[in-house]
Structure formats: C-alpha cells, structure tokens
Structure 1
Amino acid sequence: MRVIVTGLVATYPVGGVAWDYLQYVQAFHALGCEVHYLEDTGQWVYDPAAQTFTDDVSANVRYLSAALASLDPALEHRRTVRAPDGTLHGLGERELAALCAKTDFFLNVSGSCWLREPYRAARVKAYVDTDPCYSQARIAAVDAGVADESTRFSVDLMRRHDVFFTNGEHLGAPDCLVPTCGIRWHPTRQPIVLANWPVHAAPDGPFTTVMSWKIKPTPPVVGGRVYGDKDVEFERFMDLPSRTWETLEVALAGAAPRERIAAAGWRLRDGHAVSSTMAAYRDFIRGSRGEFTVAKDIYVRPRSGWFSDRSVCYLAAGKPVVTQDTGVGKFVPTGRGLLTYTTMEEAVDAL
C-alpha cells in the first residue's frame, strides 16, 4: 500500500513534534507500506536558534531528513517539503503529482497539509483531528456564519477529505460537549514504536512533563462556552508540590509566570532545551520517574476523551502517568500505570 503522511516537523523542528508525526511514517514503513512524508503548510517555519519564524526552510529540511534517518536510514529521503514561496524540497511538481495519483492513503495528520488539487488525486484522503474541540470550533464558526476568511478556507479544505479520525475518543457521546458538526468522527490513537523507547528505571527521578503554557491567543468558543489552554488547568493545581513528597518538574515553554510557579515548589526546566532534538526529548522522558501532567481546559471540560501523545511515550518507556481526566478512562484501563484525577485530592493520592 502506498501512503503519504503529513506533519509539522520542518515547520516546528523540535523533538516532541518530530516524535508526534514521524512515528506514523516509521510505523507504516515497518508494516511494509511504501510511505512518503509531505509537509505543505503554506506557513513560515520556526528557527529555534533565532527563536523566530523565517521563510528559509533549508536548515529545517536538513533537520527533518536527519530525524527520519535516525528512525530508519531508508526513510532519510522519503520526504518533500514545500517552502512558503512554493519551492519543493524533495520530489518535483510532476513527481509529487504522480505519487499522489497512485497513493492509496493520504493521511493528513492534524490537518497540517494544504490539500492542493494534485494531492486530492489520492484514493482515500483521511483527516486526523489531533486537537479535538479546536477543529470543531472552527467548523461551528463557519456554520454559524461568524468565521473569518482564514477559518473558512481551512474548513473548506478539511471537508474535502473522505474520512475523519479524531484523538477525542468520546466525541459523539451524550455527555461530550464537543459538537460533531455533522461529521462522523472515527476514534483513533497515536502510533507508538516500542523499540524507540527502551525501558529505563529511574526510581529517584522526578515526576516530569513538557508543556507550553498557552498556545492559542484567542480562546476557542464552542456552544457559547469559552475554553482555555493548559494555563487554566495548571492554576487549579499550582499548590500540588506542597501536598506531596514527590519532586515535580516541568519543562516549560511560553510566557508563563515562572517565578510564581517556582515559588509554589515546582522545579522548572527550559522546554526548548529539553525538546531540542528527538534524542534530548527521549532522554528527558527516560530519566523521569513518571509523568504528572494537566490537560488543556478545552480537552477537560468538554469530556473529549483525548489522551496525550507525549504521555503515550512515557508509558512506552515504562513510566507511570498521572494525568487529568478527560473521559479517557472509559476507553483505556486506568488505576495501574495510568492514573487519572479530577481534584487536588485525587492528584495527591495518584502520586
């Protein structure tokens, strides 16, 4: 089977993002599929050294190639990146169009790829909703006639897919507040290649996590409800370190109140340094005793059933995970290895 996987690895060349998308590529390759990675976002790319965005994708393409090669040397050149000016790095226009025409499965992970006309020639085009409620908020805004031009454009491209998957396993349930927007969402889970995550015991290590304080400057609104990011939920558990003997460490990115977080007893690390490469990200996880994490408000309050791809990596490395309940306990066993909480008392007990 011929498969195209899309992603954001060159756009955001950091370790956690690379693991998120490239394990799809690695997994399809391991299953015997002829797989190609395509990145075409129409956006400028992030330069970690300068901590800004640029239209020069050359270094980011090299990062992507090295990341693919680290997983399997055979994958190093199975990638094409379209720069903001339209220039292709990898296959040429004709080669890419020919590949799409004979592709069986076009997997648009996170809806990251601009679904251009040549890409639509693939036999089945699948949309993977990795951020439940964000996607549906955009659709709902279009349906209500209140969306801006950019949102209308992205939703139009979204609707051109043939099948829709979501990491929100609870979508469609009576007690889930995420609207389906007339789309049949098939639940799916993040792929994990266990060989990438050899178990390493670290009984004296801290409970850790990697998080961005706040990603969306404009809070999503769904059904008249305004939702927030991780900052909203973290505030509820700010005082947790004073209630447990466990060391809690956060590798933090974003404009967070670091002094106040540290004063509350959290040990802080630089999120960019921890996730600078795939190897650094993996080493951070493997050196942890386990993970303690909150989830985004937009995943928690609507009962989306979302589960973190980062937490999957902790579990694969043999690390217990203590995570905020999003309704995921209805679909995966909890209580041993994976523990969920809703209150401060439950978080303390789980640790």
Structure 2
Amino acid sequence: MRVIVTGLVATYPVGGVAWDYLQYVQAFHALGCDVHYLEDTGQWVYDPAAQTFTADVGANLRYLAGGLASLDPALERRWTVRGPDGTLHGRTEAELAALCAGTELFLNISGSCWLREPYRAARVKAYVDTDPCYSQARIAAVDAGVADESTRFSVDLMRRHDVFFTNGEHVGAPDCLVPTCGIRWHPTRQPIALANWPVRSAPDGPFTTVMSWKIEPTPPVVGGRTYGGKDVEFERFLDLPARTPETLEVALAGAAPRDRIAAAGWRLREGHTVSATMAAYRDYVLGSRGELSVAKNAYVATRSGWFSTRSAAYLACGKPVVVQETGFSAHVPTGPGLHAFSTAAEAVTALAAIRADYARACAHARDTAEAYFAGDRICARLLADAGL
C-alpha cells in the first residue's frame, strides 16, 4: 500500500516539528507501506540561523533528508518538496503525478499541503486536524459568512478531502465545545516510534517543557467566544515554582516576558537552541526529570481532548508527565506517570506524588507510551478508519 504523508519539516526545520511529521513516515514504513513525504505549502521557508523567512530552500532540504535518514537510511530519498517559487525538488512533475496516481492514502497532516489536481488522484485523501478548535473555527466562520478570502480558500481545500481525523480526541463528545461543523471527525493520536526514545533516568534533572509563546493575532472564535493560546494559560500558573521543591524549566521561543517569568522562579532556556535538531530535542527530553506543561487555552477551555507529541515523547523516555487537562484523560488514562491538572494545587499534588515514588512513575510513563502511542498501532487504525 502506498501512502503519501505531508508536513512542514522543510518549512520549519526545527527538531520538534520534524519529530511531529517524520514519525508518521517511519510508522507507515514499519507497517510495510510504500511511504513518501511531500511538502507543498506555498510559503517561504524559515532560516533558523538568520531567524527569518527565505525563498532559498537548499539548507532546509538537507535538513529534511538528514532527518529521514536518521530514522531509517531507506527513507533518505523518499521526499518531494515544492519550493516557494513552485519548483519541485526530489522528483519531477511527471514522477510526482505518477506517484500520486498510484497512492491509496494521501495523508494531509495539519492541512499543510495544497491539494493540487495531481494530488487528488490518490484513492483516499485524508485531512488530519492537529489544531482542534482552530480548524473548526475556520469552518464555522465560512459557514457563518464572516470569513476572509484566505480562510474561505483554506476551508474549500479542507472540504475536498474524503475522510477527516483530529488530534482532539474529545471532539464530538457532549461536553466538548469544539463544533463538528457537520463533519465526522475520527479521533487519532500522534504516532511515536518507540525505538527513537530510549528510557533514560535523570532523577536530578528539572521538570521541563518546550513552549512557543505566541499571542494569537487572529484567535479562534467559536459560538461568540474568543479563545487564546498557551500564553493565556501560562499566566494562570506563573507562581507554580514557589509552590513546589521541584525545579521547573521552560525552553521558550517567541516574544515572552522572560524577565517576569524568571522572577517567578522558572528556569529558562532558549527554545531554538534545545530544538535546533531532532537529536538536540531528544537530548533535552532525555536530560529531564519529567515534563510539566500547560496547553493552549483553546484546547483547554473547549475540552478538545488534545495531547501533544512532545508529551508522548517524554512518556516514551520513561519521563513522568504533568500536563494541563484538555479532556484527554477520558481517552488516555492517567496514573503514576501521567497526571492531568486544572489548578495549580492539582499540579503541585501531582509533582509531589511523582517525587514520592519516582521509579514507579517512570515505569508507568513508558507503559503508557507503549499502550497508547505506539506508532504502528496508531497508523494501522488510521488506515482502517480511512477504509483501507
């Protein structure tokens, strides 16, 4: 079976993004699929060294190829990228068209890929919503006749898919505020290739997380209510370091109020440094005692059921995880190594429970990753739900 996986690795060549998308490629490859990676965003690409966007894709292509090769040498050349000027890299137009014509599943993750005519030749075109509430807010805006031209264009492309998945596992539940917009959303999770994430104890390390501080320029609006990002939720837990003996560290990217966060007791790292490469990102996780993290306000307030790839990676490394409740606990059970919190008091209690029996928490964390995030099982279910 041939599968095309889309993503944003060449557009945003940083470790966390690469892990998000390339583990899909790795998981389908492990299932025996003829898998290929395609990137066609129509955007300029990010240059991390210059911290700006550029039309020059050379270094970004090398980053992508190197990332695939690091997972499996057989994957090194299984990619095609269309640059900002429309030029194809990795394959010719004819080769790409033939590839798509023989494809059973075209998996458009994050809606990252323009759904051009040749791509529509795939038997099943699946949309994977990795940003619950945001995706549905765009659809709702179009349905209400209040969307701008760009939103109307993106929603039109979204609706051209045959089947829809969401990382918001609670979408469609009675207590979830994310609208379904008349679409059947199949729940799915981020696949983790467990072999990539060795169990390594770091009992003297800090509880860490990697976070992009971004104040939403156009926040999602659903049912007349405006939702925010991580910055909104982080403010609620700013004083957490003063309430626990644990060292709490956050690797920050973006225009965060660093001085104020540091003054509250948080230890700070530069997000672009710890996530420069896939290896650097993994090393940062491995050097952590565990993870403590908030989620986007839009995920939390709507009870979307979202759970991050990053947190799943911590679990896979045997790192206890303490994360903000989004409704995910209705689908991934909590326990000694996975805690959901809604208040600062609950977060403090969770950290204390982990401290009381750290070895037990670490073992449960890895068990949870194996039971709920193993890439081969997640992608096998995705194929079944796509009717393949």
Q: TM-score, normalised by structure 1?
A: 0.99
Partner of 1:340: 340
Partner of 2:356: none
Partner of 1:245: 245
Partner of 1:184: 184
Decide whether the 8 Å contact of 2:215 with 2:228 is kept in 1. Answer: no
Gapped regions of structure 2 (runs ≥ 5):
352-388
Displacement after TM superposition at 1:332 (Å)? 1.1
What CA distance in whole angstroms lies between the structure 2 residues aligned with 1:220 and 1:327?
19
Secondary structure of the residue that 2:128 maps to in structure 1? strand
Partner of 1:18: 18
Partner of 1:64: 64
- Amino acid paired to 1:118: P
What CA distance in whole angstroms lies between the structure 1 residues aligned with 2:258 and 2:272?
15
Partner of 2:170: 170
Secondary structure of the residue that 2:208 maps to in structure 1? strand
Partner of 2:144: 144
Written as runs of structure 1 = structure 2, the 5 A alignment for 1:59-208 is 59-208=59-208
Displacement after TM superposition at 1:204 (Å)? 0.4
Does 2:217 align with 1:217? yes
Partner of 2:287: 287
What CA distance in whole angstroms lies between the structure 2 residues aligned with 1:140 and 1:152?
10
Partner of 1:315: 315
Displacement after TM superposition at 1:6 (Å)? 0.2
- Amino acid paired to 1:49: A
Secondary structure of the residue that 2:209 maps to in structure 1? strand
What CA distance in whole angstroms lies between the structure 2 residues aligned with 1:121 and 1:235?
47
Partner of 2:51: 51
Secondary structure of the residue that 1:175 maps to in structure 2? coil
Deviates more, 1:328-337 or 1:202-211: 328-337
What CA distance in whole angstroms lies between the structure 1 residues aligned with 2:262 and 2:217?
24
What CA distance in whole angstroms lies between the structure 2 residues aligned with 1:349 and 1:250?
20
Secondary structure of the residue that 2:179 maps to in structure 1? coil
Partner of 2:258: 258
What CA distance in whole angstroms lies between the structure 2 residues aligned with 1:257 and 1:218?
20
- Amino acid paired to 1:96: L
Secondary structure of the residue that 2:138 maps to in structure 1? helix
Decide whether the 8 Å contact of 2:215 with 2:231 is kept in 1. Answer: no
- Amino acid paired to 1:147: A
Displacement after TM superposition at 1:220 (Å)? 1.3
What CA distance in whole angstroms lies between the structure 2 residues aligned with 1:68 and 1:217?
33
- Amino acid paired to 2:273: A
Displacement after TM superposition at 1:315 (Å)? 0.3
Partner of 2:360: none
Q: Report the count of equivalent residues.
A: 351
What CA distance in whole angstroms lies between the structure 2 residues aligned with 1:260 and 1:7?
35
Displacement after TM superposition at 1:336 (Å)? 1.8
- Amino acid paired to 2:71: L
- Amino acid paired to 1:75: L
Give CA deviations for 1:109-166 in whole Å, capped at 9, x if unaligned: 1110000000000000000001000000100010011111110000000000000000
Displacement after TM superposition at 1:214 (Å)? 1.2
What CA distance in whole angstroms lies between the structure 2 residues aligned with 1:111 and 1:39?
11
What CA distance in whole angstroms lies between the structure 1 residues aligned with 2:253 and 2:218?
18
* Aligned residues: CA RMSD: 0.6
Displacement after TM superposition at 1:335 (Å)? 2.3
Partner of 1:7: 7
Runs of 4+ deviating beyond 3 Å = none
Decide whether the 8 Å contact of 2:168 with 2:187 is kept in 1. Answer: yes
Give CA deviations for 1:260-296 in whole Å, capped at 9, x if unaligned: 0000000000000000000000000000000000000
What CA distance in whole angstroms lies between the structure 1 residues aligned with 2:276 and 2:215?
18
Displacement after TM superposition at 1:215 (Å)? 5.6
- Amino acid paired to 1:219: P
What CA distance in whole angstroms lies between the structure 2 residues aligned with 1:98 and 1:187?
31
Q: TM-score, normalised by structure 2?
A: 0.90
What CA distance in whole angstroms lies between the structure 2 residues aligned with 1:96 and 1:332?
38
What CA distance in whole angstroms lies between the structure 2 residues aligned with 1:322 and 1:229?
19
